[in-house]
Structure 1
Amino acid sequence: MDKLEQARAEIDRIDGEMAKLFESRMRAVEAVSEYKQAHGLPVLDADREAEVIKQAANRIDDEEIRSYYITFLKNNMKLSRNFQQKRLQGMSIAYCGIEGSFASIAAEHIFPQAHLVPCPSFAQAWQAAANGTCDCAVLPLENSSNGEVGQVMDLMMFDRALYVNHVYALPVVQNLLGIKGSHTTDITRVVSHEQALGQCATFLEEHSITPVASANTAIAAQQVAQMGDVHTGAIASEQTAKLYGLEILERHINSSESNITRFAVFSRVPADSKDKENGDKEKNSILLFRVIDQVGALAKAMNIIALYGYNMRVLRSRPTKDWGFQYYFYIELEGDINSESGRQMCRQLSSCCEGIRIGGTYRRSDADAT
């Protein structure tokens, strides 16, 4: 056997070993896809891929071969994503609204291969995920210019069936839509979701347009298209305008230049922690509770959170409904409270708080605007 044949024989032998390893790798990818489906996580985990490539660069000493190895890894990752997406095609995602709503746009970004299930209300989308009709629900948490979505926070506090495992920041551009042939000067009333109306309050006031609340931006656009009234407009996305055959009369009418809505993926299973002792430091956590009726109870709770080294990013209060003029608190913390440290903190919080609930955890970078 000459050197060429020897080299080819060695390549064939290695290819045989690689085939077995590749099959094993894809079985592991299959397990990853099952976990992501159960926890409502998207296929792409850019941070994880970047970390793998960074570590892989140290495995190859030869600089020229290293670049080929990194390309090989990237191709493997692409195959893995394709395999996961194919397996997740049967995944069903509930959202509030109809096709063209910002929730449907967010859900499609997060789960491009999944079956999207429209629901008429936040509560019904939540329940579809809670009772197993759908795998997950995609619901808005808050808007950067118009604040929290209280109905969703109430579901987190009082229903407690679902957990946040992923947060997606969607840049939102609101547009004034009208039927074909209409102009901005024709519009005397505009229909949209209350959040969208709030985001565009300055524009509406400047143009003396009467706001009319609707269940959803896309539903509002659909209604305007069906009415055929030149004096009635809608506030919604460019995608919604195309979907329902409306014209964009004015673009970007939201008051804030940076208008972002954070959408959360809710699933029945809470996320695991990579580090059981200290938690995943790249994550944020959601905590909900009521404080006991005692002087300084809230201050004590804040001090306990600080004592354990958790930085508060968000603090909201909402009425408890059942108790007159009492409130629960929604808090987002930097750090993973699915850890021994987090559990100790929650135990200590029970001295001044009631109804403590971990609402979920999510990777911090996922919530950055894209």
Structure 2
Amino acid sequence: MDNQTDDLITLRADFQAIDQQMLEMIATRRTLSERIAGWKAKQGFSIRDFPAEQNRLGFLIEKGKELGLDAFSVSKFYQNFIEDSVMTQNATLHTLENNGSIPETPKVAFLGGEGSYSQLAAKKHFSFANKPISEMGKNSFKASLQAVEDEEADYAVLPFINSTTGLIGDACDALLESKVSAIGEIFLPIEHCLLGKNWNYPTGNIKAIYAHPQVFAQCRPFLETLGNATLIPCDSTTDALKRVCEGPANQAAIGSTVAGNIFGLKVLKSNIHGERQNLTRFLVLSKVPHRVPKQVSAKTTLALVPKTTPGALSEILLEFSDREITANLLEARPAGNGLWDRVYLIDIEERL
């Protein structure tokens, strides 16, 4: 190797050493967040202290300027750290409040398996509580919920609503038919990538694309540019990834970069969903309701079937308004009784 190559190898080794230090510092920060949550639980303090957060951000921005860092980059890093700390404190307080009822290694059911977005959401949620999970991949949303009802699993993690396509219909319908309680939620950024077997494979030569139907809906504008490709729906992202691994190079799947790494697939095109920010809200579901710590903001999701009379839904919403209860979600699904009734799903910022 020449001197230039040697220099590049050395520089990359320095990068890797810094990355390792950053990971260790993030882990240490989470441990401190857990200790802070324990102190707040004893003293009854709120999790968020917005004035202190703003003052700290201002201080860090000034320090960043001295190091040649712009305010936007410093603010972005800091907001990520704050979110991580808040989620860790929420999870710690939740565990303390429900002492003894949360297993050390929870059994968690979700649609698909390795590489699915539901798996990523489940791991993210329980990582804040510092709990490894026993994964139970299922072939449908209904099977995931049934595993909880049958006590085969402790929890299920289901996608509930997406910022691009709205309610996840199949998941919502399965949830309405079940007897479980939502005990948590997680928001996962969804960054769809076109994944194939070979680097730089021409997207115009792709003949088949595998994905879950919801994923196709979120990537529709991009897929319309690939007129030669046949879209093949799959039960889960995991199923789509496996099919591409087993097939010829002119097939592709839609999934995350993490999924691509797991299955050894290459990113042919990134961020194909088109939306600048594509988020999915996942619900964490249990057979037994959990207590919510007083320091944690509570949210309750209601499923209501109003009378089929004029103004019935308006009367319900006025009741919330009269009691100064904030409602921030209003979605409707068919009631499934063949009578054109609708089930209205409403999120309220209140404990019930």
Please point out which of 103, 112, 132 is paired with 1:97.
Answer: 112
1:262 paired with 2:277, answer: no
Deviations 1:287-308 (CA, angstroms, capped at 9, x unpaired): 0010112221111111112222
Q: Shift of residue 262 of structure 1?
A: 1.0
**What residue number does 1:143 align with?**
162
**What residue number does 2:232 align with?**
212
Using the aligned pairs only, state the percent identity: 24
Q: Shift of residue 215 of structure 1?
A: 1.0
Q: Shift of residue 245 of structure 1?
A: 2.1
1:191 paired with 2:210, answer: yes
Q: Shift of residue 309 of structure 1?
A: 1.5
Q: AA paired with 1:227?
A: G
Rounded to whole Å, the distance in 1 between the matches of 2:197 and 2:104 is 36
Q: Is the partner of 2:305 in helix, strand or coil?
A: strand
Q: Shift of residue 89 of structure 1?
A: 4.1
1:286 paired with 2:301, answer: yes
Please point out which of 265, 269, 276 is paired with 1:246.
Answer: 265
Q: Shift of residue 211 of structure 1?
A: 2.6
Q: AA paired with 2:237?
A: T
Q: Is the partner of 2:113 in helix, strand or coil?
A: coil
**What residue number does 2:26 align with?**
none
Task: Say if 1:153 and 1:330, in contact at 8 Å, map to a contact too.
Answer: no
Please point out which of 315, 325, 336 is paired with 2:330.
Answer: 315
Q: AA paired with 1:176?
A: L
Gaps of 5+ in 2: 1-32, 46-88
Rounded to whole Å, the distance in 2 between the matches of 1:51 and 1:89 is 23
**Cα distance change, pair 55–128 in 1 and its aligned pair in 2 (3 A):** closer
Q: Is the partner of 1:291 in helix, strand or coil?
A: coil
**Cα distance change, pair 281–243 in 1 and its aligned pair in 2 (3 A):** closer
CA RMSD of aligned residues (A): 2.9
1:166 paired with 2:181, answer: no
Task: Say if 2:335 and 2:341, in contact at 8 Å, map to a contact too.
Answer: yes
TM-score normalised per structure 1: 0.65
Deviations 1:277-336 (CA, angstroms, capped at 9, x unpaired): xxx782111000101122211111111122222111110100111233221111111222
TM-score normalised per structure 2: 0.68
Q: Is the partner of 1:249 in helix, strand or coil?
A: strand
Give the structure with the higher percent strand.
1
Structure whose CA Rg is larger: 1
Q: AA paired with 1:222?
A: K
Q: How many positions carry a matched residue from both structures?
A: 265
Q: AA paired with 2:324?
A: G
Task: Say if 1:95 and 1:122, in contact at 8 Å, map to a contact too.
Answer: yes
Q: 122-131 or 243-252: which moved more? A: 243-252
Q: Shift of residue 48 of structure 1?
A: 4.1
Q: Is the partner of 1:167 in helix, strand or coil?
A: strand
Q: Shift of residue 53 of structure 1?
A: 9.3
Rounded to whole Å, the distance in 2 between the matches of 1:311 and 1:281 is 16
**What residue number does 1:221 align with?**
241
1:200 paired with 2:215, answer: no
**Cα distance change, pair 243–281 in 1 and its aligned pair in 2 (3 A):** closer
**Cα distance change, pair 50–141 in 1 and its aligned pair in 2 (3 A):** farther
Q: Is the partner of 2:204 in helix, strand or coil?
A: helix
Rounded to whole Å, the distance in 2 between the matches of 1:184 and 1:107 is 32
